[in-house]
Structure 1
Amino acid sequence: MNKLFLVILLCLTGSITLAQQPERKTLFIITDGIPVDIIHKASTPNLDRIEQEGIFLESYVGGERGGITQTPTISSNCYATLITGTWVNKHNVWDNNIANPNYNYPTIFRLYKDAYPDGKTAIYSTWLDNRTKLLGEGLDATKNLKIDYAFDGLEHDTINYPHDKHSNYIKKIDAAVASEAASSISKNGPDLSWVYLQYTDDAGHHYGNSPEFYNSITYHDALIGLIYDAVKQREEEYNEEWLFIVATDHGRTPLTARSHGGQSDSERNTWMVINKKDINDYALNYRTAAVDLLPTIADYMNIAIDQSTLYELDGLSLFSPADAFNLKGVLIDNSKLLLSWTSISKNSDTTAEVYISTTNNIKEGNPDRYIKIGEVPLKEELALLSIEMPEVSDFLKVVLKTPNHTLNYWVRKVGSEK
């Protein structure tokens, strides 16, 4: 009788423990245009306390210099990269006009709603286009994505926020956005949120590498602290566990820091702060990339991603084990494929499968057919594989499927146009 009672008690305890697991939520903030070398010159007590709970990571944008993935270091290109996990050759956002984004490479918001239709999303932004164009709210191409809580568009309110040449109206809008974000998060606790703050980029353009620019960073830091306090309150009162990420979208030109858009180190070098310490060996030992944001959030939020989308992601989760990164390839005589990568796996016997496709149907929303052409030992970091390239195709897509994730790379035929 006592044994039966003990078994029942253990079962009940286990059920109660399971029911009390914290609910996971994610919020990410983009503070615009702060180079990695300048962030350390400003006073940032709130970013410092987030870093103390987690980690500061140096990152990069811009894709592969001179390669198919090279992406301008312009704001909207970089936002698109962050929220789709792909470079510009896929998301197709080439400038701030956002003329023709390719929604067949879904944003983290579309992926989240696919996985959790009843989940709540939010955007609090100093730029309306983030919701209407980059996320594509309400469009057929995004399956009529709906954001549950939205606060944006104040830049079009010239009565309450009259425009001035020093962008003080943007500074005021940022404050309104941060205040609403903190209030909404405290009250509603959306599951996936994006906060966008712009003033630092404007200050960089106006003042360059200067005390005024540093002060704008400190100003944003205070707004970030307001939002982080709301998140900490939610964790304490509602048994929630939040992933909180602050990132910048691009760096700035060397020395003056007045502009951006090119491929210099200072324009490509960025950073992110995460309130978690349990990151993987890739994040701990190598420079992360803007494309890592989406897979990191998807991993944390347990978002299932279909194979077609998974094979196109250009980044890695910063949490789950990573086996390799930096996949590259070149065709030799259009009959052999030379692959290289950087191995992370500690298991010397780890192998990966290599798949190729000579179509790019996903660009139009249709699946590609991949064929397996071999297996390679990850520790070698190099492989030469025989292939047959059809005459009608000018490029192929390569997928390296490791035990824990996939990597991909686009390879052009010799002599084909970029």
Structure 2
Amino acid sequence: MREQAPDLSWVYLEFTDDMGHAFGDSQQYNDAVIAADKRIGQIWAAVKQREKQFNEDWIIVVTTDHGRDPKTGRGHGGQSDRERSSWIATDAKPLNVYAQKGKASVVDILPTLATHLDISLSDDQKRELDGVSLLGNVSIYNVEAKRTDDKVNLAWVSGESNGKVKISLAHTNNYKQTGNGDTYTLLAEVPVNKGSFDIDLSQYPKSEIYKVTIEGTHNTVNRWIVNKK
């Protein structure tokens, strides 16, 4: 990194995971975290050198892919808060209102990197995003979709006081299967500060999956409604 400086580097420090599975909450695990911190420090030093020597603009994002079981700290895959929770540490700034007040998660890393690297995503790609960038302006965040029978209530937090959002629905998953975009039906345009919208799925063709997008001025977020087989 110090010599070649690719635009994007992904580094996997596996030892903490190994020690967690082997020993759980333990001194061995704590020592592995300390060792990982030292290695991240080497990356940090390389980044700081690049910024100083070449006037480059870098960000570092550190995260984990899952938590661990609350009893032993060894396994994962359950539904406990500790297993389902993860964290993000970054030097990116200035962080937006979502990063400061919302429920940030690992799915926000991709759009954050796209913002920092000034990568333009296609509309089809934006409609597949679960996350919200932690940088720049944001229209909506903390989007939830709650289903009761055929009724779906969408709720969100507005990141701006004015403007509208477009709410659209698709009942296919072509993007995953073929790489081609899905056909969305525009359901409504509502004020962004309204914060909620109701959908009646009985008015649309029956499907195993419904994909809902909320498109604001600055970002688009999707939520899926999946029928259990």
Alignment of 1:10-409 (within 5 A): 185-329=1-145, 334=150, 337-347=151-161, 349-364=162-177, 365-385=179-199, 388-391=203-206, 393-409=207-223
Q: Distance in 1 between matches of 2:13 and 2:35?
A: 11
Find runs of 4+ consecutive structure 1 residues off by over 3 angstroms: 328-334
Instruction: Return the structure number with greater helix share.
Output: 1
TM-score by length of 2: 0.91
Shift of 1:384: 2.5
Q: Quick one: distance in 2 between partners of 1:385 and 1:275?
A: 39
CA displacement, residues 213-232 of structure 1 (integer Å, 9 cap, x when unaligned):
11111111111111111111
Q: 1:319: how far off?
A: 0.4
1:328 Cα deviation from its structure 2 partner: 3.3
Cα displacement (A) at 1:255? 3.5
3-state DSSP of counterpart to 2:41: helix
Secondary structure of 2:2's partner? helix
CA RMSD of aligned residues (A): 1.9
Cα shift at 1:276: 2.4
The 1-side partners of 2:149 and 2:76 are apart by 38
Q: Please, which runs of 5 or more residues in structure 2 have no aligned partner?
A: none
Measured in 1, the distance between the counterparts of 2:183 and 2:148 equals: 23
Q: So what's the TM-score if we normalise by structure 1?
A: 0.51
The offset of 1:341, in angstroms, is 1.8
Whole-angstrom CA distance in 1 between matches of 2:23 and 2:154: 43
State the SS of the aligned residue for 2:115.
helix
Cα separation, 1, equivalents of 2:88 and 2:30? 17
Tell me by how many angstroms 1:330 deviates.
5.2
Instruction: Give 1:386 deviation, angstroms.
Output: 5.4
- Structure 1: which 5+ residue stretches go unaligned? 1-184
Letter in 1 for 2:174: N
1:354–1:398 CA contact under 8 A, matched in 2: yes
Q: SS of the residue aligned with 1:197?
A: coil
Cα distance in 1 for partners of 2:149, 2:34 equals 55
Shift of 1:342: 2.6
Tell me how far apart the structure 2 counterparts of residues 190 and 343 of structure 1 sit (CA, whole Å). Answer: 36
Paired residue type of 1:417: K
* Closer, same or farther: CA 371–187 of 1 in aligned 2, 3 Å: same
Match of 2:82, SS state, is: helix
Highest relative contact order (Cα 8 Å, sep 6+), 1 or 2?
1
Contact 1:341 1:382 in 2 (8 A): yes
Larger Rg, first or second structure (1 or 2): 1
Q: Which residue of 2 aligns with 1:53?
A: none
CA gap 1:369/1:305 in 2 versus in 1, 3 angstroms: same
Partners of 2:209 and 2:57 in 1: how far apart? Answer: 44
> Structure 2 vs 1, CA of residues 369 and 278 (structure 1 numbering), >3 Å: closer, same or farther?
same
Answering whether residue 228 of structure 2 is matched by residue 417 of structure 1, we say yes
1:389 counterpart letter in structure 2? Y
